[in-house]
Amino acid sequence: MTLQQGKRRRAAARALVASALLGAFYLLPWLQPGGKPALLLDLTARQFHLFGMQLVPEDAQPLLWLVTACIAALGLLTVLCGRLWCAYICPQTVLTRVFRGLDRLTTFDGIARPLGPLLRHGLWAVIALWTGITFVGYFNPIGQLVQALHPFALNGWECFWIAFYALATWANVAHLHEQVCTHLCPYSRVQHLITDANTPIIQYNAPRGEPRGPRGVGEASVLHRSRGLLDPVTASDYVFRAAHPAIAGAMPKFAPIHLGDCTDCNACLQACPIGLDIRNGHTSNCIECSACIDACDDTMARNQFPEGLIHRAHLADTESTTVRRLRVKPLLFAAMMALSLVLMYLSAGGPL
Ligand code: SF4
Ligand code: SF4
């Protein structure tokens, strides 16, 4: 797979998943197969409409088991594949990408440039308001809500919840961005409990990249030079010294022939929405969005180096940890998921 194919494949996967999720979110309240809402949580009538099924609160037990099965499935996905939820599926990520798309759309040269921020926030306010209406449309029939907009006949609670969700969407995405992931999201706090040494994470290949430094064009990658890869201890020593100059002192100047593949361009740092320097090591704040991979692969391409200085790999690949054939956490999550599905089936009136 070539560099551009790798980057294009990630971008296409993001666009595909985002379109599917946004399409499902905005369309579901409108769907009425057989004249019945596909998904409506009618709290006033104490009834849940779920794809043709009509449930009352007493029937909620199967739903609780379904939620448990979904949580176990998320754990299984995470331990096997890393934080794909954060990178591709989380509503915060998806909506932030939409907002950044608007940013690019409304940033253009010419007389419209000063209007860009106004246009962007205006468009985002409309999307946020429609998101608020859609949220409330999962609890009140959305057709009636929209009809009540003109002439205006929404009741107080409808106004409150629409305004609440619209404001939350607007502020979360336009102002808080990924700070929500770092400071509010419980999922990132429990990563160390969910994952194991075989879970893929985003990593910087220090033995290949260190010592870092700018160089002229024409130097080959260490993968094609006699220097080759450094041993991991020396590489992590260089990483530490680069990250802590006050403690370790300034790094010596290296001749281009001794430099690793990191050109110290800082593109990975600038691309990171959390402000992390992935070269200093993986942290639980990393949402594995792959922005640093894309940025670094561009730098590698400009220098005609092979891609993958920053890449997705298992900790076991890089920390001489023994790869376990029997992985306990995936088995536990799989068992929890299977058990929850069986209990859901039984509590919904299955045999036994
Ligand atoms: S370190 Fe890389 S993958 Fe992690 S959040 Fe930053 S840009 Fe995304
Ligand atoms: S983008 Fe790549 S080459 Fe540039 S500083 Fe980051 S790791 Fe080094």
Tell me the pLDDT tens digit for each residue of 237-270.
999 999 998 898 878 888 888 999 999 999 999 9
Give tens-digit pLDDT for 153-169.
889 999 999 999 999 99
Which atom of ligand 1 is found nearest the CA of 295?
A: 7
Q: How far is the CA of 183 from the centre of ligand 2 (A)?
A: 26
Tokens of 307: 């891609």
pLDDT reported for residue 178: 79
Higher pLDDT, 107 or 236: 236
Give pTM, 2 decimals.
0.83
Give the number of whichever ligand sits closest to the CA of residue 276: 1
pLDDT reported for residue 316: 63
Tokens of 252: 């010596």
202 phi and psi, to 5 degrees? -80, 130
Mean pLDDT, to the nearest integer, of 130-142?
95
Give tens-digit pLDDT for 70-124.
999 999 999 999 999 999 999 999 998 888 888 777 766 554 566 778 888 889 9
Give tens-digit pLDDT for 28-51.
999 998 888 999 999 888 888 888
Q: How far is the CA of 294 from the centre of ligand 1 (A)?
A: 10
Q: What is the CA radius of gyration of the chain?
A: 25
Give the number of whichever ligand sits closest to the CA of residue 272: 1
Give tens-digit pLDDT for 4-17.
677 888 899 999 99
Which atom of ligand 2 is found nearest the CA of 279?
A: 7
pLDDT reported for residue 104: 77
Is residue 323's pLDDT more than 70? Answer: no
User: What angle, rounded to 10 degrees, do the helices at 60-81 and 328-347 form?
Assistant: 160
Q: How far apart are CA 75 and CA 83, in angstroms?
A: 10
Give the number of whichever ligand sits closest to the CA of residue 182: 1
- 352 pLDDT band, cuts 50/70/90, is very low
Q: How far is the CA of 174 from the centre of ligand 2 (A)?
A: 28
